């Protein structure tokens, strides 16, 4: 299986530059727009909002596209229905950020039979990879490993009580980030007291953290949040309980969106692993290449960074999300 790794910031810039040379070129001529249906998960987080804006900017008329956008509010049935609607509309290509990994075989088969190529962005599926043309996104498992390595190095052999705020149950980032983190802390003195889904939202992250605090109190040493929004919710709950986030209870998170980075700089989060949401230009380039009959990499990974408070302070003013 083909695989490619692209540096996060350089990737978007390089592809944006490449696309300026072919902007406005649809499948049948300079004036013909490429119609693309994009099935987004919803608007559950700051990361997702940045991802949506990146996609809308890349799939603009100026770049040669007509975008049909649907956000499924994290309801898998609604997202699959949206993809079927795209097929019935006869779009030129479909881009999907799958809410969960399973359940895609039938509708992806329908798209293939209709001759409509599918590009996956951000999240993956368990369906056969011959049902989609390519995937572009992040290495969620490695993000979990990076977060876990920080936890292992920070706490060492010190007995440490951990609680986990999981992402949407059944989603690729939740599954992979959990697996990678667990691998990295294996053999350490870190004990997982509890792990529950916060659905990648700040509100649910706060609610779940409130439950953890009621049950375990100040015996909690560390929170691992699968995204920044849940970490921010946890901060609200920790502060409401009269404790100091980042000191009494340390927090490691994934995403590196603006609000998360600001909390990191303020010392309320202790370490963040990046998950770059700016995938629009890469996805748009893949659509054009696939429709032009070009060979494309089956998987394109965008490289992630990680940040301490000091590193976040150095880059916060220049970041795009």
What whole-number distance in Å separates Cα of residue 215 and Cα of residue 1? Answer: 46
Helix, strand, coil fractions of the chain, as percent rounded to 5? 45, 20, 35
pLDDT in 10s for each residue of the chain, 321 residues: 344 555 544 444 433 333 333 333 334 344 699 999 999 999 989 899 999 999 999 999 999 999 999 999 999 999 999 999 999 999 999 999 999 999 999 999 999 999 999 999 999 999 999 999 999 999 999 999 999 999 999 998 999 999 999 999 999 999 999 999 999 999 999 999 999 999 999 999 999 999 999 999 999 999 999 999 999 999 999 999 999 999 999 999 999 999 999 999 999 999 999 999 999 999 999 999 999 999 999 999 998 999 999 999 999 999 888
What is the pTM for the complete model shown?
A: 0.85
Question: Phi/psi class of residue 64: alpha, beta or left (left: φ > 0; alpha: ψ in -120 to 50)?
Answer: left
CATH node for 3-138+276-304 = 3.40.50.2300
Domain 140-274 sits in which CATH superfamily? Response regulator (3.40.50.2300)
Tokens of 169: 């149950």
Hunting for tokens 């040493």 — which residue is that?
Answer: 221
**CA–CA dist 67, 48 (Å, integer):** 17
Name the 3-class secondary structure at 4. strand
Burial class (CB in 10 A: 0-12, 13-18, 19+), 115: exposed
């Amino acid at each position: 299986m083909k695989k490619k790794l692209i540096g996060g910031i350089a990737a978007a810039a390089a592809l944006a530059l490449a696309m300026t040379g072919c902007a406005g070129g649809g499948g049948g001529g300079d004036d013909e727009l490429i119609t693309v249906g994009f099935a987004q998960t919803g608007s559950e987080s700051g990361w997702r909002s940045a991802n949506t804006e990146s996609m809308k900017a890349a799939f603009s008329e100026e770049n040669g596209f007509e975008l049909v956008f649907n956000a499924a509010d994290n309801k898998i049935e609604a997202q699959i229905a949206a993809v079927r609607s795209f097929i019935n509309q006869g779009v030129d290509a479909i881009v999907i950020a799958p809410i969960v990994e399973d359940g895609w075989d039938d509708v992806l088969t329908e798209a293939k039979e209709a001759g409509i190529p599918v590009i996956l962005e951000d999240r993956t599926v368990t369906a056969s990879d011959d049902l989609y043309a390519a995937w572009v996104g992040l290495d969620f498992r490695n993000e979990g490993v990076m977060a876990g390595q920080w936890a292992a190095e920070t706490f060492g052999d010190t007995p440490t009580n951990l609680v986990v705020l999981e992402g949407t149950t059944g989603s690729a980032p939740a599954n992979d980030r959990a697996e990678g983190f667990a691998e990295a802390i294996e053999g350490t003195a870190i004990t997982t007291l509890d792990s529950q889904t916060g659905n990648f939202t700040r509100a649910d992250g706060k609610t779940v953290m409130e439950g953890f605090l009621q049950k375990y109190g100040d015996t909690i040493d560390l929170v691992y949040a699968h995204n920044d929004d849940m970490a921010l919710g946890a901060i609200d709950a920790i502060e409401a309980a009269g404790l100091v986030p980042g000191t009494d209870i340390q927090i490691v998170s994934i995403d590196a969106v603006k609000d998360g980075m600001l909390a990191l700089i303020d010392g309320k989060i202790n370490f963040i692993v990046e998950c770059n949401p700016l995938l629009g230009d890469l996805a748009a380039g893949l659509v054009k290449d696939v429709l032009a009959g070009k060979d494309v990499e089956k998987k394109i990974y965008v490289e992630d960074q990680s940040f301490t408070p000091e590193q976040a302070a150095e880059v916060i003013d220049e970041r795009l999300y």
